[in-house]
């Protein structure tokens, strides 16, 4: 049995599958966990790979640490989506963290992850509070602001469309504390059909936040193996000297828990190939 995810007509990923471990059509989407040949268990949503046990460290380290190290003292963190728990796990490696709200619209994602991806999520950490709610509405109603917000949603189809909208990001900005930092996943630069969505998103981020930068990560099971993310903030820049200092010290302390992110990667990830810059113009 083979899983296919084509991102460009008939081009894309093929993965050998041993067994379907979980398959449920929820009110929001189809959630599956597949046992693969060589990537451990792999979760898909509506036929798109979300993570595998073997490669999830890249995505989760790269969506969490650039923001978490940028903030001088990230106590309160909000994660929109992220139901597999991997982003929360990386967030909670930072000792400053006292409270994490994770707002996952689909409880089936959390249930499937706890059962079939048990090493991914840090669901037992008492700092983590899981809410099965619509992240769009949750952000509208924030009263106690967050130091870091991470938008760990799926692709801009289905329930995640509004995660690419202007009003959502305006509400996110309001929900951030004074030195707040926000990161989000923003699709693969190699998928032409997403270029308009990426361009619009970065254009509205630029209008909404004082700092907004794209950065990149190598994710083998995502379309074309290249993934883009957004770093935005109310003033902190990823290359600020005190950010570099925190990254340097913090990555040393975390040691081998980090398998992708490090000091060099923190800065290098913001270098964009010409064809990627062109998408943003």
Could you say whether residue 275 binds a second copy (CB under 8 A)?
yes
225 binds a second copy (CB under 8 A): yes
Is residue 115 a contact point for a second copy (CB under 8 A)?
A: no
Verify whether residue 152 is a known catalytic residue.
Answer: yes
Residues 143-202 that bind a second copy (CB under 8 A): 190
Q: Which is nearer to a second copy, 171 or 212 (CB)?
A: 212
Q: Tell me the closest approach of the beta carbon of residue 222 to a second copy, in angstroms.
A: 8
| Residue in 45, 58, 97, 211 binding a second copy, rule: CB under 8 A | 58
Residue 162 exposed, middle or buried by CB count within 10 Å (0-12, 13-18, 19+)? middle
Q: Residue from 27, 178, 241, 271 that binds a second copy (CB under 8 A)? A: 271
Member of 22, 28, 39, 146 binding a second copy (CB under 8 A): 39
Binding test (CB under 8 A) with a second copy, winner from 2, 126, 141, 281 = 2
Which one of residues 27, 124, 274, 281 is an interface residue with a second copy (CB under 8 A)?
Answer: 274
Is 6 a binder of a second copy (CB under 8 A)?
A: yes
Rounded Cα–Cα distance for residues 7 and 48 (Å) = 9
Window 248 to 267, contacts with a second copy (CB under 8 A): 256, 258-262, 264-265, 267
Give, in order, the Cα–Cα distances in Å from 273 to each of 9, 88, 118, 180.
24, 30, 36, 28
SS3 158: helix
Q: Which one, of 46, 54, 44, 79, lies nearest residue 185 by Cα?
A: 79
15 binds a second copy (CB under 8 A): yes
Q: How far is residue 129's CA from residue 92's CA, in Å, rounded to a whole number?
A: 12
Are the CB atoms for 239 and 233 separated by under 8 Å?
no
Span interacting with a second copy, options 4-12, 127-135, 143-151, 199-207, rule CB under 8 A: 4-12
Please, are residues 222 and 191 in contact by the beta-carbon 8 Å criterion? Answer: no
Q: By CB under 8 A, which span of 73-81, 118-126, 129-137, 271-279 interacts with a second copy? A: 271-279
Q: Give 169-175's long-range contacts (Cβ < 8 A, gap of 24+).
A: 169/204, 169/205, 169/208, 169/209, 170/208, 171/136, 171/139, 171/140, 171/142, 172/139, 173/208, 173/209, 173/234, 174/142, 175/78, 175/139, 175/142, 175/145, 175/146, 175/149
Please list, in sequence order, all residues whose beta carbon lies within 8 angstroms of the beta carbon of residue 11, skipping any fewer than 6 positions away.
Answer: none
Catalytic residue of the set 84, 106, 152, 155: 152
Q: How many residues does the chain have?
A: 281
Of 25, 37, 115, 245, the residue at the interface with a second copy (CB under 8 A) is: 37
Q: List the one residue from 48, 111, 270, 280 that touches a second copy (CB under 8 A).
A: 270
Instruction: Choose between 27 and 271: whose C-beta lies nearer to a second copy.
Output: 271
Q: How far apart are CA 232 and CA 225, in angstroms?
A: 23
Residue among 31, 8, 64 at smallest CA distance from 260:
64
Exactly one of 43, 67, 108, 216 binds a second copy (CB under 8 A); that residue is 216
Rounded to a whole number of angstroms, the minimum distance from the CB of residue 172 to a second copy is 28
Just list the catalytic residues.
152
Q: Which residues bind a second copy (CB under 8 A)?
A: 2, 4, 6, 8-16, 36-39, 57-58, 190, 216, 218-220, 224-226, 256, 258-262, 264-265, 267-275, 278
């Amino acid at each position: 049995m083979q899983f296919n995810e084509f991102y460009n007509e008939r081009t894309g990923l093929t993965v050998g599958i041993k067994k379907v471990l979980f398959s449920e059509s929820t009110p929001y989407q189809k959630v599956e966990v597949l046992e693969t040949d060589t990537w451990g268990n792999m979760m898909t949503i509506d036929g798109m790979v979300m993570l595998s046990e073997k490669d999830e460290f890249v995505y989760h380290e790269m969506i969490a640490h650039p923001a978490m190290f940028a903030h001088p003292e990230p106590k309160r963190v909000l994660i929109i989506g992220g139901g597999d728990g991997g982003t929360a796990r990386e967030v909670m490696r930072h000792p400053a963290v006292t409270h994490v709200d994770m707002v996952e619209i689909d409880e089936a994602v959390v249930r499937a992850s706890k059962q079939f991806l048990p090493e991914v999520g840090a669901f037992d950490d008492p700092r983590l509070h899981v809410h099965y709610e619509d992240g769009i509405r949750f952000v509208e109603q924030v009263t106690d602001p967050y130091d870091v917000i991470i938008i760990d949603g799926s692709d801009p189809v289905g329930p995640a469309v509004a995660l690419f909208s202007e009003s959502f990001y305006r509400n996110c900005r309001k929900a951030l504390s004074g030195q707040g930092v926000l990161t989000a996943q923003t699709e693969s630069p190699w998928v032409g059909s997403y270029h308009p969505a990426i361009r619009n998103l970065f254009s509205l981020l630029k209008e909404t936040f004082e700092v907004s930068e794209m950065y990149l990560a190598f994710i083998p099971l995502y379309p074309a193996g290249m993934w883009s993310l957004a770093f935005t903030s109310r003033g902190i820049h990823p290359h600020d000297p005190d950010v570099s200092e925190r990254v340097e010290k913090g990555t040393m302390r975390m040691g081998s828990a980090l398998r992708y992110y490090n000091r060099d990667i923190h800065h290098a990830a913001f270098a964009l190939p010409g064809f990627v810059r062109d998408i943003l113009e």
